[in-house]
Amino acid sequence: MKVIKFRRARVLSVASVLAVSASLVAVGGSASAAAVKVQLVKTGGGWQLLRGGKPYFVKGAGGSYSLAALKAAGGNSGRTWGADGIQGQLNRAATLGMTYTVGMWLAHPGNGFSYKNKAQVQAQYEQCKKYVLEYRNDPAVLAWGIGNEMENGYDHKVLWQAVEKIARMCHRLDPNHPTMTVVAEIGGHKVQKINKYCPDIDIIGINSYGGGPSLYKRYLKAGGVKPYVITEFGPPGTWEEGRDNLHLPPEMTSTQKALYYAKTYRNSVLAAKGLCLGSYAFTWGWKVEATPTWFGLILPDGRRLGAVDQLEHLWTGHWPAHLCPDMKSLTLNGPDKVKRNTDITAYVDASQPGGGVLKYHWVLRRDISNLPANGGEARPMPRKYPKAIVQQNGGHVTVHMPDNGGDYRLYCYVYNNYNGAAVGNIPLLVTGPIHAMRIPRSQLPLVLLGKHADGMPFIPAGWMGNYKNISYGTANFGPQGGHSCVKIQYKSANGWGGIAWQNPANDWGKTDGGLNLTGAAKLTFWAKGKVGGESITFGVGLIGADQPFHDSVHVSKVVTLTTHWKKYSISLRGQNLKQIITGFYWTGGGNGSPFTFYIDNVKYVK
């Protein structure tokens, strides 16, 4: 048996490996915590992880939904993409006997960061060092995930040298956990370059969607010799799908997606025994990316989709007692390109495995799949049209299309009595001009940011000014005893920068959107500065009437921060709040020095 004693390999007997691994080793940090030693070993059957001296195969998912539910399905591990503010997650995992691959976010080249800039690379290295020192003794840590897809479009030697330096540091400071770097698929020469430039990377993490079922064979062909973990997998992404006659990406039903998850798992996880150490399905929860249902194993109401049934079977060898509904087909009776105010009909053919009663729910929403987006960033929930559903009878529905041109999707949700669901959608186009629609009132209070945020009504996507010098992350503290908050840094001594929370994201008035927040008396938020004296402008509404779709109000307030948390408010009484596209923003100038401040609990209240 070959044991990777992180940085060097040496041969030990099976007995000595198990004896050493069984102990809990603490290295630095808090004396009250003890790391569970994780080892990467090579036997006659190939690579294997040992955790606490016992074989450990990663049965994981990435996402923020209940860890207890993941464990109940047979999962044993979660994954983070960054390491700010994750102590609560680690604590929950430890309580459940589960683990986390702790991701340390590395900058993606561009937007002001260059891997040829020694000062920037060193600052990133120092931040990763802080993470290792902070979490290395936590019993829930499984491995270090160094970066995520930062090589996408920049597969250069200097990047891999920076990754190697961080991996070497991880081994030096923490001999108890292996290192992994995560890449977007394995095209080009990524695998060969990691093999060549990153000897201290123990495991290659691979995010693979459409190519998941063929990943194992392609990895071997690419010269893969290090063990791998599939760090994200699911149905083919929008970037991998073609476009239909409406130039929109067609989305699989949840039943079809479930089979795709299983195909990837069988072909590139189970079939790769001795090379693949496990996987993390994406995403454990739900996320609005292209559509509200494209990526997600759980619906917002907590109902599971068919892919969870498949994963439970693959992880445990047993099917759940009651499977999710099976959506066999979703059919539009007529053309998908219609005039305004046209009635259309559709039908879903669904059944409950083993028999049972099904309920149906139809929703018409604006389609946002073609709106610009940065990578896999989340978006606000697209607008729905409840009055458009004029009649539904079981699996049949009649929809009155809006008096407004543009792209839409008709969603069909099928529910059983066992907390299971199936979902699919049909893309539609209404011909004619696009104009601003009356927006229904949102429920108040509406939380934009904080522990009890209402989904993601506004996205911090509108970076302004000298945005290349802005850093947006989280910190491990918050107001009123909270455990985390948003940390914002402006890293230049000159110029100005800012971030706008937008709906739609990445849009400055060209697309219909926003929320109707009529009835809100004020916007409240908590803030503090790192050193005190930071002068920041906070406000609501930025987009002017010169744009087709604009904010109906523009109010702001200049605040001088202290080093203590303080609650601030912006009065909205008497203001027109019928269309708020920029739900919150901040701007600030360098004024001779960089600055750092923190915000949390941003919400609209009556």
pTM here is 0.82
Per-residue confidence (pLDDT) for residue 401, from 0 to 100 = 97
Residue 301 lies in a domain: yes
Instruction: Yes or no: say if 168 and 146 are a contact pair by the CB < 8 Å rule.
Output: no
State whether 489 and 595 are in the same domain.
yes
Tell whether 252 and 371 lie within a shared domain: no
Beta bridge partners of 537: 558, 587
Q: What is the pLDDT of residues 425-457, one digit of tens each?
A: 999 999 998 877 677 788 999 999 887 776 788
Instruction: Indicate whether 390 and 421 sit together in one domain.
Output: yes
Nearby residues of 315 by Cβ (< 8 Å), 6 or more positions away: 59, 73, 74, 75
The larger pLDDT score, comparing residue 458 to residue 371, is at 458
The answer on 312 and 371 residing in a single domain is no
Among 284, 316, 348, which residue terminates a domain? 316
Instruction: Look at residue 580 and tell me whether its pLDDT is greater than 90.
Output: yes
Q: What's 361's domain CATH number?
A: 2.60.40.10
Q: Is residue 35 part of a domain?
A: no
Residue 148 has pLDDT above 50, yes or no: yes
- Strand (E) or helix (H) holding 446: strand 446-449
Q: Per the domain annotation, does 44 fall within a domain?
A: no
State how far the Cα of 573 lies from the Cα of 585, in Å rounded to an integer.
19
Cα torsion at 41, 45, 50, 55 (round to 10°)?
-170
The per-residue pLDDT for 187 is: 93
φ, ψ of residue 134 in degrees (nearest 5) = -75, -40
Answer whether residue 43 is part of any domain.
Answer: no
The answer to the question of residue 296 being in a domain is yes
Which band of pLDDT confidence, cut at 50, 70 and 90, is reported for residue 26?
Answer: very low
What whole-number distance in Å separates Cα of residue 13 and Cα of residue 311?
34
Residue 5 lies in a domain: no
Number of domains in the chain: 3
Give the list of residues 6+ apart from residue 412 with CB closer than 8 angstroms, or none. 327, 330, 346, 348, 360, 361, 362, 397, 423, 424, 425, 426
- Are 461 and 590 within one domain? yes
d(CA 156, CA 168): 19
pLDDT at 28: 35
**pLDDT 10s digits, 105-147:** 998 887 678 899 999 999 999 999 999 999 999 999 999 999 9
Secondary structure class of 54 (helix, strand, coil): strand
CA atoms within 13 A on the CB side of 90: 26
In angstroms, the CA 3 to CA 10 distance is: 6
Residue 188 pLDDT grade (very low, low, confident, very high; cuts 50, 70, 90): very high
pLDDT tens track for 290-345: 899 999 999 999 999 999 999 999 999 999 999 999 999 999 999 999 999 999 99
Q: Domain for residue 36, yes or no?
A: no
Q: What percent of the chain has a predicted confidence (pLDDT) above 90? A: 76
CA-based R_g, the chain, Å: 25
Q: What is the CATH number of the domain that holds 161?
A: 3.20.20.80
Let me know whether 107 and 234 are in one domain.
yes
User: Which has the higher per-residue pLDDT, 603 or 30?
Assistant: 603
> For 528-560, what is each residue's pLDDT tens digit?
999 999 999 999 999 999 998 999 999 999 999
Angle at alpha carbon of residue 276, lines to 74 and 77, rounded to 5°: 30
Most confident among 32-36, 379-383, 494-498 (mean pLDDT): 494-498
State what percent of residues in the chain have pLDDT above 70: 92
Judged against a pLDDT cut of 80, whether residue 14 lies above it is answered with: no
Question: Of 230, 208, 211, which is closest to residue 275 (Cα–Cα)?
Answer: 230
- Residues 99 and 208 occupy one common structural domain: yes
Domain that holds residue 175: 54-316
Q: How confident is the model at residue 504 (pLDDT cuts 50, 70, 90)?
A: confident
Are 202 and 70 contained in the same domain? yes
Residue 47 in domain:
no
